[in-house]
């Protein structure tokens, strides 16, 4: 196995064992094991994905859709278990972004060297 594969797997293992990941897992299971919360969260996710896809495909998003999405966000944020899950997701996203920045540093430095 190459050094890179070995290091990537060590990192994967460290993520699995991290407090952040385990807190997220706990928060996620809590929502998934509550039928009403699960339905609210699934609705929220599909609304988000739908709007993102429209945006990426350059389709227009109507004021009505924006308003509808805002209401869905407001509703899920008032649900304690879901808003907790969203906080834990945010934390894990931040540390995954930190990792991405670290591993793309060699490339960034290479390209920055000759940037105009």
Residues that bind Ca ion (CB under 5 A): 23, 26
23 contact, one of Ca ion, a copy of itself, none, CB 5-8 Å limit per kind: Ca ion
Q: Exposure string (b/e) for 50-68, b if CB count within 10 Å is 16 or more?
A: ebeeeeeeeeeeeeeeeee
CB 82 within 8 A of CB 34: no
What CA–CA distance (Å, rounded) separates 95 from 68?
31
Q: Which residue lies nearer to a copy of itself by CB, 60 or 74?
A: 60
What CA–CA distance (Å, rounded) separates 46 from 71?
14
CB 52 within 8 A of CB 46: no
105 contact, one of Ca ion, a copy of itself, none, CB 5-8 Å limit per kind: a copy of itself
Q: State the minimum distance, in angstroms, from the CB of residue 80 to a copy of itself.
A: 19
Q: State the minimum distance, in angstroms, from the CB of residue 69 to a copy of itself.
A: 17
Q: Please give the residue ranges that form the binding site for a copy of itself (CB under 8 A).
A: 2-18, 21, 24-25, 28, 32, 38, 42, 55-56, 58-60, 92, 95-96, 98-100, 102-107, 110-111, 113-114, 116
What CA–CA distance (Å, rounded) separates 83 from 73?
10
47 contact, one of Ca ion, a copy of itself, none, CB 5-8 Å limit per kind: none
């Amino acid at each position: 196995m190459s050094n890179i594969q070995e290091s990537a797997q060590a990192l994967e293992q460290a993520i699995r064992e991290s407090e952040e990941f385990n807190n997220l897992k706990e928060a996620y299971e809590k929502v998934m094991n509550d039928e009403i919360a699960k339905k609210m969260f699934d609705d929220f996710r599909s609304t988000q994905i739908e709007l993102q896809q429209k945006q990426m495909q350059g389709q227009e998003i109507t004021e009505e859709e924006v308003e509808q999405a805002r209401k869905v966000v407001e509703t899920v944020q008032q649900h304690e278990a879901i808003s907790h899950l969203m906080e834990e997701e945010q934390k894990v996203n931040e540390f995954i972004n930190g990792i991405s920045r670290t591993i793309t540093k060699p490339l960034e430095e290479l390209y920055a060297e000759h940037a105009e």
